[in-house]
Amino acid sequence: FQEDSQCVRDLIYLDIALEEVLRMLVEHNSGADTGVDQLAGLIGVVMDNFGLSRHDPEILCCFNQWCRLAENPGYDRDWCLQARSVLERMSRVLGSTVDYYDSMLQPKADHLGERFHADPWTVELFTQEVVRGSGAFILSLLAGYMEPALRKSAELGDWQVISHQEAAGRIVAERLVAVQAEKIDSPTIILTDRITGDEEIPPGVTGVITPEPVDIVSHVSIRARNAGILFATCYSRDIMDELHSFKGSVLRFWIDSAGHVNFEPEEAGKAFTGPEESGIDVPVLKCRRVKFESYAVASRDLDYSVAGGKANRLAGLRGRLPDWIRTPRSVVIPFCVCEKVMENLENNALRRSYDQLVRRVDEKPEEILPLLKEVIMQLGEPEELKSAFFSAVEAEGLVWPGGTGSNWDTVWKRIRQIWASKWNERAYWSRKKWGIGHESLIMAVLVQEVVDAEYAFVIHTNNPFTGNSDEIYAEVVPGLGETLCSGNYPGRAFSFICSRNGEFSPGILSYPGKSVALRGGGIIFRSDSNGEDLSNYAGAGLYDSVLMNPPADELLDYTEISLLWDEDFRNTFMCRVAELGMEIENALDGAPQDIEGAYSGGQYYCVQTRPQVG
């Protein structure tokens, strides 16, 4: 073929023609009233064809899972939940395909359109029309027909409410990340087409509505519940279109007893002005005062004068849990070590630069925040810090990669990265919103063993969706927990609820659709500031956690994941995770907990826990 250009051209034209025939056949044989079984068959064929047109290994992963589902086409609730997770993952692939076409073709279309004096509307539609003639469009069309049928069969409804609040405000369509640094003067409901999970909700926003699935444990979800802001995912395109038609108008939202979100036009003067007027107190928060105690301590020597709640709660669990629940060993770089290091003579010039930047940070935060981080990353370490650190490692019995004393350059870099995360953009804006002084926020660093997890999970011992204290809610992902808690890894987790009354009776809410699992072990460095355990303030997630050695990305083929296909293992796993949540809650005087854990080699671990907020 390489020597016969005419043959290659003919094959390309044949491929285009066959793609067009497939599109016409699908359009003529499918619609909103097509049955689930017929749609499932068509999706399999079109997904296979799409994989031949675009060489993306994730398409093959989706196709393999779809084929395995097709082997047992029960079309019951469990089947529909799995099918929905595959289609949500495929929708992200379709989105990236559209972006690829747009970046490749649209600049050329703009250039040629200008030279040919083409009508502007034809130029603007050029890439869209190319996409409409591709397998991506056909697959998107079928997925659009399939989604409402799956939701109906799985009895999921049109809404998932993350934060239950009544709200009113002017409707604005804008990505939340674009307005997070603003102070909005009038009550506003944001319609955002994208949620990363790391956004800060600015003052003046009374509600956030998105069509995207959102992790309940994400930073923005916790923020919304804590601040008394309506936050919900709407899966109905018709409802989202209706909401967009009200842009600029004021709507009132409320949630009925069945969990449905209702809305109606509201007079502008009756809109809430924010949490203060809806009976929710938003105080100015203050961090407790701390001082330099030592350069490093083992977990047995911990108290709240040297580290925050992460380290202290984990250390406090030892000896209070059954043997089947393990906790990782850890040491701490205490409060004020960063400030102590800055006082060293060799760091004097850096300290002066740092102080000047802190005084100016509110003038131009987007420019100065990276400079503050850069200053911290240039700090030189005192010899006492290294010797104290490895003494604490030996006292803890922490098995150190390469032997005690090795990898110090990497250790010192990771410590500074955690200190520098004090000036993360989302952390800065959160402190500004809640009146937390920058100078009062002091970092400590928790250095901890990493469980090389087969599965990582987060448990809320009170169901955060409903507030039901008789239900445990949990989310699970293959691999390390970073994909669960970070907005950098889109996709749904495996989630379930479990009754606490009598025998455990878990109920699956969703199957996983993450694209990537992170694999690795070793050592992790976590922030543990004095601002992460304030009452009614979700400080977790604002600052960084960094592995000493970066984890490996693994593209997930869910046909190989036993949690999806081994029912006995799945039921045992869910019950054991729920039991772990109850054991930790009981060990901490019955206070509802937000728990991070891991499963590896048949063993269950609690890697951290904090009081549940919201």
CB of 311 closer than 8 Å to CB of 299 = yes
* CATH architecture assigned to 297-448: 2-Layer Sandwich (3.30)
User: Catalytic site residues?
Assistant: 219
> What's the CA gap between 553 and 489, in Å, rounded?
11
Per-residue DSSP letter, 534: -
Confidence band of 189 (pLDDT split at 50, 70, 90)? very high
At residue 502, the pLDDT reads 65
pLDDT in tens, 364-390: 999 999 999 999 999 999 999 999 999
Mean pLDDT over 131-159 rounds to 84
For residue 9, the model assigns a pLDDT of 86
Q: What is the pLDDT of residues 455-502, one digit of tens each?
A: 999 999 998 877 788 899 999 999 999 998 776 788 889 999 999 876
Find the Cα–Cα–Cα–Cα dihedral 246, 252, 258, 260, rounded to 10°.
Answer: 20
- Please, which residues bridge with residue 608 across strands? 596
E strand or H helix that includes residue 448: strand 445-450
| Single pTM value for the model | 0.84
pLDDT confidence tier of residue 418, bands split at 50, 70 and 90: very high
Question: Which two three-digit tokens encode residue 582?
Answer: 């109850």
pLDDT of 280 above 60: no
The residue whose two tokens read 């994400």 is 218
Between 362 and 433, the more confident residue is 362
Find, among 465, 444, 473, the residue nearest to 581 by Cα. Answer: 473
Instruction: State the pLDDT at residue 217.
Output: 65
CATH class of 159-270: alpha beta
Which class for 45: exposed (0-12), middle (13-18), buried (19 or more C-beta within 10 A)?
Answer: middle
Q: What is the pLDDT of residue 1?
A: 54
Ordered by start, the domain boundaries in the chain are 5-153, 159-270, 297-448, 452-518+552-611
Q: Which CATH number fits domain 452-518+552-611: 3.30.420.40, 2.30.110.10, 3.40.50.300, 3.30.470.20?
A: 3.30.470.20
* Arithmetic mean of pLDDT, 282-291: 73
508 token code pair: 């699956």
The SS3 call for residue 149 is: helix
How is residue 586 written in tokens?
A: 């009981």
The encoded tokens of residue 99 equal 């972006």
418 and 543 Cβ atoms separated by less than 8 Å: yes
Enter the tokens of residue 29: 């044989």
Alpha-carbon torsion, ordered 28, 32, 34, 36, to 10 deg: 130
Mean pLDDT confidence for 557-563: 95
Angle at 329 between CA 325 and CA 335, to 5 degrees: 125
Q: Are 47 and 68 in contact (CB under 8 A)?
A: no
- Least confident window among 458-462, 468-472, 568-572, 573-577: 468-472
Higher pLDDT, 539 or 495: 495
pLDDT digits (tens, 9 = 90+) for 203-256: 889 999 999 877 666 778 877 877 789 999 998 888 999 999 999 999 999 987
Element (H, E) at 230: strand 230-234
Residues 6+ away with beta carbon under 8 Å from 313: 588, 608, 609, 610
Q: Answer whether 430's CB lies under 8 Å from 200's CB.
A: yes
Residue 609's DSSP bridge partners are: 595
327 pLDDT higher than 80: yes
In this predicted structure, what is the pLDDT of residue 96? 87
User: What is the distance between the alpha carbons of residues 573 and 248, in angstroms, rounded to a whole number?
Assistant: 48
Report the candidate in 139, 136, 137, 134 with the shortest Cα–Cα distance to residue 42: 139
3-state SS string for 5-53 = HHHHHHHHHHHHHHHHHHHHHHHHCCCCCCCHHHHHHHHHHHHHHHHHH
Give CA–CA dist 221/211, Å, rounded: 14
